[in-house]
């Protein structure tokens, strides 16, 4: 079902944990759908120095969290904003169709953490929108986890 | 790596004896049982023998046994077939919230056609209350369908009581016994069962073959129209190897029945106790004693089911989270929700279902492997983080 | 005694290679394909591969192939599924008088539900006239279902022409291709086929497994409700060995396709000519050239079919009189009656259907044995007595 | 499907043929149902001296014709009348349920031949009714050959 890369990131997830004095923290997903992703970012001089995550979710959710944090470390905020759900999925050699929504979760949690950072520092990040409370809200029709 | 298969509720390996019984019917005795010549008569006899074995196991007559392509078709046939012939009579069906999708989705389909369905609640251990069944009966009730035992949590329903109620009210009673066969002794006459579904692949028989027991004299519509097979009630060239395999499998499943059940029950309880003892924040889902001898379903807080399954798989343990059908989509289990579990707990359940091949060593292995896996997952769980912070 | 099996239209022996391909999926790779763990993934892959092979043979896409329990279920699904989704649109279905019972009895069932069915006549060789199809179309027509080739008389229908007409009128077109697979090349796209039924056991694959091809985008109701298998469109745990066997069988059936057809055609024509030459008062039923390469159907005057079959069986020859399904009840064949044959001639037909295992020697043996058998039966036939007396 | 006895009578039918100067001839059944039975009787001094048949029909039809003629030879007319479809079927060690109607055919053809004999000789045989034109006429509903 999962690519080798997904399984690698699931079995050996990178950057699991918390950042004590994080510059921004974002949590998305909900327990109803069985996926919650929490991302911690450490940002200095517009550059993401470190990223950590905690995830309650399926194999794809864990792997995309791991991959997203890996992709984002060392990037500027602007570069980080360009990380889309598709690029995360591609970096993992693809995801099963029913699991594509998980990569959306990774994108959204990054954005939520950046939004938190911007709010705390009272700055505006071009192109970043306020995260939805629950990214699944608009997906009800497609079934909870069958995006 | 040792492969430990603990998902026997999803499907079971076909026994060697069963495969051997089937083999001649592929290449040698391959004739169409409806034909006149001798080659075909061998097959007809083989079908009759399988039918007889099955009838005997259920306390039924041979002419009450109809072969289908599996449990799902049997469930569809039972419900749609009764609905069809009951048109002038009524449009109300009573079922439970924790039936298999083969029942629930069929009922939902009928709901769209204008039928009225009562989905009975269950208690926190997954038990349907016979009194609720009685209270739900209306003048328009045409069918009561309650599963014999639940596929996810293993709870065994009070079928005899429900059968009695159905009989008193003269309402046909169907039970989906797909999970119960070979684990619980069934007597359709004593228990007043009018319709019963079973499926070969759940008791070490082949996939793609099942049975609908239809009580003699019960009026029911035909579901699959065509040739005159199954005495004109289920068309389609008979799956002879499948039928022979199902017959052999049920014969074997009924050998040393009590010993087998006792052995499984012991293993089951060891596994339940072992897990609950060694993993904090977890509990048994379903009834403690009115429970299939092979079913262990544990709610593990703060972890998500699929991840748990993948890690178990990496350790050579095949298990399931809720039913196999739903684990693809990972929608939370409707059964666990019906027990009153909140969503995050419904997502964090794991089901181990034992089989004849399951050993004490395998159970011990699972009890050994589970705690560190759960611990590891909790360490990366934001829910666990929250829990620890709020409980500090 | 030499066993000569000439009833391949009823069913076929499963090929050794097919059984071998299936075997691992009973005992080793037995997992439920819907599950998460690796054991299950092997099966999922096996199913996908079979689906791909089948799609390739039909010129279809893999996501247009849906597994069923056989040809009968596929036929039922196609017709009832289209009927269900066409409710606001219309209630008229066009079919022919010589369809298999899986089609006819399903149509008759719908007729009772208020649908209007046009049963087209066929000509004396069993051919549906595409012009008749066109003329039968109404504003309310929701489905045209015409078989690809007839199971009794082997006549191959003008499917491409009918497909074109259906397309021009934007009406879904289903064809029961159960008898055609492996004998006639089919391209669902070129031939504008929207729905197609096939069955594994007719081309040396297993019984109890079939396919409904559903053109992408075609709206059709679900027939068997339940789990999310077959992308939510056909519920029930997948019959993995059956699916694998069907895939292997169709792969083999498409190997050396043209050579195989040429060889069968030669044998077929030898048998037809040999019988007609050596037996007075008999003739070929069906079309001479637009005919399945394996089908020989001979009308033998003054003798009754079942007796003929029994005597052939005594000589080691397995044949059929009309379709296998009807030979149990011995109702006269609806197909032969539709050709315009009087009842006594419809009763006196014998069908030999050749297979890959059929040899020239077997054909010669039948040509040798038939005349004395027929002569013997005629000597005890009151019809023959009358005939001789009136023609003296 | 068939008992050994049925197969024996089908494979080696007794009394096939015609009787040139038959005392009575009876034909029942119709081609529509695929069964026609013609019985010839030679009756002398109220005793059936000989019986022959010709049958167009299934294995059971042939076997019951054969058995019925065998049973009837040597019997008085009154004894012959007692030969029922059940006794023919029993003498054959039974028939498949769907074939029971064939034994009816044998009974009826015997009766038809006796009726013919009575008519020719202008006598009345106690308990013998005029044969129906077609014994299947009243069976339409049950399907032609699925009595
Ligand atoms: C033309 C045709 N359609 C449908 C069927 C039914 O297929 P199955 O026996 O696989 O249900 C058959 C054969 O029995 C057939 O010959
Ligand atoms: C309780 C129950 N009912 C019905 C079914 C469906 O049976 P099958 O997969 O044979 O169609 C299953 C298993 O899948 C089941 O567990």
**Position B325 pLDDT exceeds 70:** no
Q: How far is the CA of C82 from the centre of ligand 1 (A)?
A: 20
pLDDT on residue A101? 80
Q: Is A59 on the interface with B (CB under 8 A)?
A: yes
| H or E segment to which residue B1 belongs | none
The arithmetic mean of pLDDT across residues A47-67, rounded, is 94
Q: Which of B133-137, B254-258, C325-329 has the lowest mean pLDDT?
A: C325-329
Please give, rounded to a whole number of angstroms, the shortest distance from the CA of B389 to a CA of chain C.
33
Percent of chain C with pLDDT over 70: 97
pLDDT at D147 over 60: no
Tell me the shortest Cα–Cα distance from B176 to chain C, in angstroms: 13
Residue A146 DSSP code: -
- Kindly give, in sequence order, each residue whose CB lies less than 8 Å from that of residue B217, ignoring residues fewer than 6 positions away: none
pLDDT for residue C248 is more than 60: yes
Q: Quick one: B95 and B162 in the same domain?
A: yes
Mutate to test the pocket of ligand 2, among B8, B95, B100, B195 (most ligand atoms within 8 A of CB): B100
CB contact under 8 A, D37 and C379: no
Give me the domain span that covers residue B372.
4-11+257-390
- Determine the average pLDDT of the residues in A62-75: 95
Whether C8 lines ligand 1, by a CB cut-off of 6 Å, is no
The domain that contains C192 carries what CATH number? 3.40.640.10
In this prediction, residue B329 carries a pLDDT of 52
Q: Is residue B127 within 8 Å of residue B155, measured between CB atoms? A: yes
Least trusted range by pLDDT, from B339-348, C10-19, C286-295 = B339-348
| Same domain? B304 vs B245 | no
For an interface test with B, which of C13, C101, C212, C236 has the most B Cβ atoms less than 10 Å from its Cβ? C236
Instruction: Supply the pLDDT for residue A18.
Output: 95
Query: Residue D134 — pLDDT band, cuts 50, 70, 90?
Result: low
Q: What is the mean pLDDT of residues A83-91?
A: 92
> Is residue A86 in a domain?
yes
Closest CA to C22 of D7, D62, A122, B239: B239
Cα-only R_g, chain C: 22
**DSSP alpha helix (H) spans, C254-329:** 257-278, 305-314, 324-329
pLDDT number for residue D75: 96
**Residue A133: which pLDDT band, with cuts at 50, 70 and 90?**
low
* For range C318-338, the mean pLDDT: 70
DSSP per residue, C200-258: GGGTTS-SS-EEEEE-TT-----SS-SSSHHHHTS-S---HHHHHHHHHHHHHHTTTHH
Q: Which residue of B has its CA nearest to A55?
A: B381
The mean-pLDDT minimum among B60-64, B241-245, C320-324, D23-27 falls in C320-324
Is residue C206 located within the same domain as residue C269? Answer: no
List, as ranges, residues 1-60 from C with C-beta within 8 Å of A: 36, 41, 44
Atom nearest to B200 CA in ligand 2: 10
Q: What was the pLDDT predicted at B367?
A: 98
Residue nearest to atom 7 of ligand 1 (CA): C71
**Does residue A87 belong to any structural domain of this protein?**
yes
- Angle at B261 (CA atoms; ends B259, B267), nearest 5 degrees: 105
ipTM: 0.92
Interface test with C, best of D31, D97, D98, D134 (most C CBs within 10 A): D31
Q: How much is the pLDDT for C2?
A: 54
Distance from residue C41's CA to the centre of ligand 2 (Å): 19
Closest listed ligand to the CA of B11: 2
Helical segments of chain B, H only: 16-22, 24-27, 38-58, 71-85, 101-112, 130-136, 159-168, 229-232, 240-253, 257-278, 305-314, 324-327, 334-338, 343-347, 360-379, 382-390
Helices vs. strands in chain D: H and E counts, helices first: 5, 3
Q: Which of B253, B276, B311 is the last residue of a domain?
A: B253
C293 and C200 belong to one structural domain: no
Please give the tally of structural domains in chain A.
1
**Helix H or strand E segment including D113:** helix D100-121
Substitution candidate for ligand 1 out of C148, C149, C151 with most atoms within 8 A of CB:
C151
* pLDDT at site A137: 42
Q: Which ligand is nearest to the CA of B12?
A: 2
Range with top average pLDDT, B150-159, D28-37, D89-98: B150-159
Q: Is beta strand C116-120 parallel, antiparallel or unpaired with respect to C349-353?
A: unpaired
Upper half-sphere CA count for residue C74 (Cβ side, 13 Å): 29
Q: Which of B170-174, B387-391, C291-295, D99-103 has the lowest mean pLDDT?
A: D99-103
> Stretch A54-62: mean pLDDT, rounded?
92
Assess whether pLDDT exceeds 50 at residue A140: no
Query: Nearest residue on chain D to C312, judged by CA atoms?
Result: D11
What are the angstrom distances between the C-alpha of B309 and each of B152, B306, B373, C36, D104?
A: 15, 5, 10, 7, 67
Best probe of the C interface among A1, A34, A96, by most C CBs < 10 A, is A1
Q: Does C72 contact ligand 1 (Cβ within 6 A)?
A: yes
For residues C226 and C223, what is the distance between their CA atoms, to the nearest angstrom?
10
Question: Would the pLDDT of C323 be above 60?
Answer: no
Mean pLDDT within A12-17: 96
C-alpha radius of gyration, chain B, whole number: 22
Mean pLDDT of B22-42: 88
pLDDT band at B2 (very low <50, low <70, confident <90, very high): low
In this structure, the number of other CB atoms found within 10 A of the CB of residue C378 comes to 21
Flag whether A144 is in a domain: no
Size of interface A-C (CB pairs under 8 A): 3
What was the pLDDT predicted at C326? 41
pLDDT digits (tens, 9 = 90+) for C200-227: 999 999 999 999 999 999 999 999 999 9
Which residue in chain C has the smallest CA separation from B228? C325
Q: Which of C225, C244, C330, C355 to probe the B interface (max B CBs under 10 A)? A: C225
**Nearest CB neighbour to B236, from listed C39, C69, C225:** C69
Instruction: For chain C, say whether D13 makes contact (Cβ under 8 Å).
Output: yes
Do both B176 and B135 map to the same domain?
A: yes
Task: Give mean pLDDT, residues B250-261.
Answer: 97
C219 lies in the same domain as C154? yes
**Cβ C195 vs Cβ C172: under 8 Å:** yes
Whether residue A119 lies inside any domain: the answer is yes
Chains A and B touch (3+ CB pairs under 8 A): yes
Average pLDDT over residues A6-20: 95
D40 touches chain C (CB under 8 A): no
Ligand 2 centre to CA of D113 (Å) is 61
Categorize the per-residue pLDDT at A40 as very low, low, confident or very high, splitting at 50, 70 and 90.
very high
pLDDT at residue D133, as a whole number: 62
Q: Is B299 on the interface with A (CB under 8 A)?
A: no
In this prediction the pTM is 0.94
Give the Å distance between the CA of B120 and the centre of ligand 2. 20
* Contacts for B325 with CB less than 8 Å, ≥ 6 apart: B101, C34, C226, C227, C228, C229
Nearest chain C residue (CA) to D60: C307
Alpha carbon of D2: minimum distance to chain B alpha carbons (Å): 10
Q: Is A102 tagged catalytic?
A: yes
Residue A134 confidence (pLDDT): 53
Subunits touching D (CB < 8 Å, at least 3 pairs)?
A: B, C
Is residue B1 predicted with pLDDT exceeding 70?
Answer: no
- Return the ligand number nearest the Cα of B69: 2
Measured from the Cα of C237, ligand 2's closest atom is: 9
Which member of B314, B343, B385 has the closest CB to residue A54?
A: B385
Q: What's the CATH code of the domain at C305?
A: 3.90.1150.10
Residues B294 and B336 placed together within one structural domain of the fold: yes
Do C and B count as touching (3 or more CB pairs closer than 8 A)? yes
**B228 in D contact zone (CB under 8 Å):** no
Task: Check CB contact under 8 Å for D143 and C329.
Answer: yes
* Residue A143 in domain: no
The one catalytic residue in A58, A102, A144, A145 is A102
Domain boundaries, position A31: 4-138
* pLDDT at position D135 over 60: no
pLDDT for C161-198, tens place per residue? 999 999 999 999 999 999 999 999 999 999 999 999 99
Q: Is residue B48 very low, low, confident or very high in pLDDT (cuts 50, 70, 90)?
A: very high
- C246 and C263 together in one domain: no
Domain contains D147: no
Query: Coil, strand or helix: which one is A12?
Result: coil
The answer to whether B376 faces chain A, any CB pair under 8 Å, is no
3-state helix, strand, coil in chain B (%, to 5): 45, 15, 40
Each residue's pLDDT tens digit, B92-111: 999 999 999 999 999 999 99
pLDDT of the residue at C322: 59
**∠ CA B32-B33-B38, rounded to 5°:** 90
Q: Look-up: residue for tokens 């699925």?
A: D146
Domain count, chain B: 2
C-alpha B112/C-alpha C43 separation (Å) is 34
Residues C144 and C224 in one domain: yes
Residue found by looking up tokens 């504008």 in the block: C192
> Would the CB of B12 count as within 6 Å of ligand 2?
no
> In 10 A of CB B91, how many CB atoms?
18
Q: Which residue has the higher pLDDT, B110 or D57?
A: B110
Whether the pLDDT of residue B327 is over 50: the answer is no
B2-6, C55-59, C136-140, C348-352: least confident range: B2-6
* Same-domain pairing of C222 and C294: no
Residue A24 contacts B where some CB pair is shorter than 8 Å: no
Cross-chain residue pair C304–D35, CB shorter than 8 Å: yes
Cα of A103 vs centre of ligand 2, distance in Å, is 32
- Ligand 1 mean position, distance from CA B226 (Å): 9
Any idea what DSSP says for residue C335? Answer: H
pLDDT tens digits for C101-142? 999 999 999 999 999 999 999 999 999 999 999 999 999 999
Predicted local distance difference test score (pLDDT) of residue C321? 85
Q: Give the model's pLDDT for residue B322.
A: 60
Tell me how far apart the alpha carbons of residues A85 and A93 are, in angstroms, rounded to a whole number: 13
Q: Is B72 in the pocket of ligand 2 (CB under 6 A)?
A: yes
Q: How far is C197 from chain D (nearest CA, A)?
A: 29
Q: Could you tell me if residue B362 is left (phi over 0), alpha (psi between -120 and 50 degrees) or otherwise beta?
A: alpha
Q: Is the CB of C182 under 6 A from ligand 1?
A: no
Q: Answer whether residue A76 is part of any domain.
A: yes
Residues of B assigned a catalytic role: 325
Q: Establish whether residue B145 lines the binding site of ligand 2, counting it when its CB lies within 6 angstroms of any ligand atom.
A: no
Instruction: Please check whether residue B2 is in contact with residue B365, taking contact to mean a CB–CB distance below 8 angstroms.
Output: yes
Instruction: Note whether B275 and B176 are same-domain residues.
Output: no
Say if A13 falls within a structural domain.
Answer: yes
Last residue of some domain: C196, C224, C253? C253
pLDDT the model gives residue B79? 98
* Residue C67, strand partner residues: C211
What pLDDT shows up at residue D30?
79
Domain's final residue, options C253, C284, C313:
C253
CATH number of the CATH domain containing A31: 3.90.1010.10
CB of D54 within 8 Å of a chain C CB? The answer is: yes
- pLDDT tens profile B336-380: 999 999 888 888 899 999 999 999 999 999 999 999 999 999 999
């Amino acid at each position: 079902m999962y690519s080798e890369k997904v399984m690698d990131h699931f079995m050996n997830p990178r950057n699991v944990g918390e950042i004590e004095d994080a510059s921004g923290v974002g949590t998305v997903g909900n327990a109803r759908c069985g996926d919650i992703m929490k991302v911690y970012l450490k940002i200095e001089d517009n550059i993401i120095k470190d990223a950590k995550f905690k995830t309650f979710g399926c194999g794809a959710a864990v792997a995309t969290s791991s991959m997203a944090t890996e992709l984002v470390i060392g990037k500027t905020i602007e570069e980080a904003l360009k990380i889309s759900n598709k690029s995360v999925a591609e970096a993992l050699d693809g995801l099963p169709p029913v699991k594509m929504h998980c990569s959306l979760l990774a994108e959204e949690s990054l954005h939520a953490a950046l939004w938190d950072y911007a709010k705390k520092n009272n700055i505006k990040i071009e192109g970043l929108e306020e995260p939805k409370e629950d990214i699944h809200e608009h997906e009800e029709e497609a079934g909870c986890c069958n995006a | 790596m040792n492969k430990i298969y603990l998902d026997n509720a999803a499907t079971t390996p076909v026994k060697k004896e069963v495969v051997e019984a089937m083999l001649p019917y592929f290449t040698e005795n391959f004739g169409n049982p409806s034909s006149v010549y001798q080659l075909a008569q061998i097959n007809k006899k083989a079908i009759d023998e399988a039918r007889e074995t099955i009838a005997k196991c259920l306390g039924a007559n041979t002419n009450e046994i109809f072969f289908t392509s599996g449990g799902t078709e049997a469930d569809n046939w039972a419900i749609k077939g009764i609905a069809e012939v009951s048109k002038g009579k009524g449009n109300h069906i009573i079922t439970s919230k924790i039936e298999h999708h083969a029942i629930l989705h069929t009922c939902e389909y009928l709901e769209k056609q204008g039928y009225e369905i009562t989905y009975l609640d269950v208690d926190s251990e997954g038990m349907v209350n016979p009194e609720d069944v009685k209270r739900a009966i209306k003048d328009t009730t045409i069918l009561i369908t309650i599963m014999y035992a639940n596929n996810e949590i293993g709870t065994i329903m009070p079928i005899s009581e429900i059968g009695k109620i159905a009989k008193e009210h003269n309402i046909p009673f169907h039970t989906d016994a797909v999970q119960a066969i070979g684990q619980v002794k069934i007597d359709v006459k004593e228990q007043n069962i009018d319709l019963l579904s079973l499926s070969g692949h759940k008791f070490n028989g082949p996939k793609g073959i099942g049975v609908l027991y239809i009580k003699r004299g019960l009026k029911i519509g035909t579901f699959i129209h065509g040739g005159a097979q199954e005495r004109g009630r289920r068309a389609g060239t008979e799956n002879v190897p499948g039928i022979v395999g199902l017959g052999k499998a049920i014969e074997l499943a009924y050998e040393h029945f009590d010993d087998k059940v006792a052995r499984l029950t012991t293993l089951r309880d060891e596994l339940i106790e072992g897990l609950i003892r060694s993993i904090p924040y977890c509990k048994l889902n379903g009834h403690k004693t009115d429970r299939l001898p092979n079913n262990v379903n544990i709610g593990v807080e703060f972890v998500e089911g699929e991840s748990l399954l993948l890690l178990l798989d990496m350790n050579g343990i095949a298990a399931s989270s809720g039913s196999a059908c739903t684990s693809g989509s990972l929608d939370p289990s409707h059964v666990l929700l019906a027990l009153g579990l909140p969503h995050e707990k419904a997502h964090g359940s794991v089901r181990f279902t034992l089989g004849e091949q399951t050993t004490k060593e395998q159970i011990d292995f699972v009890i050994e492997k589970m705690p560190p896996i759960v611990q590891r997952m909790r360490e990366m769980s934001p829910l666990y983080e929250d829990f620890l912070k709020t409980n500090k």
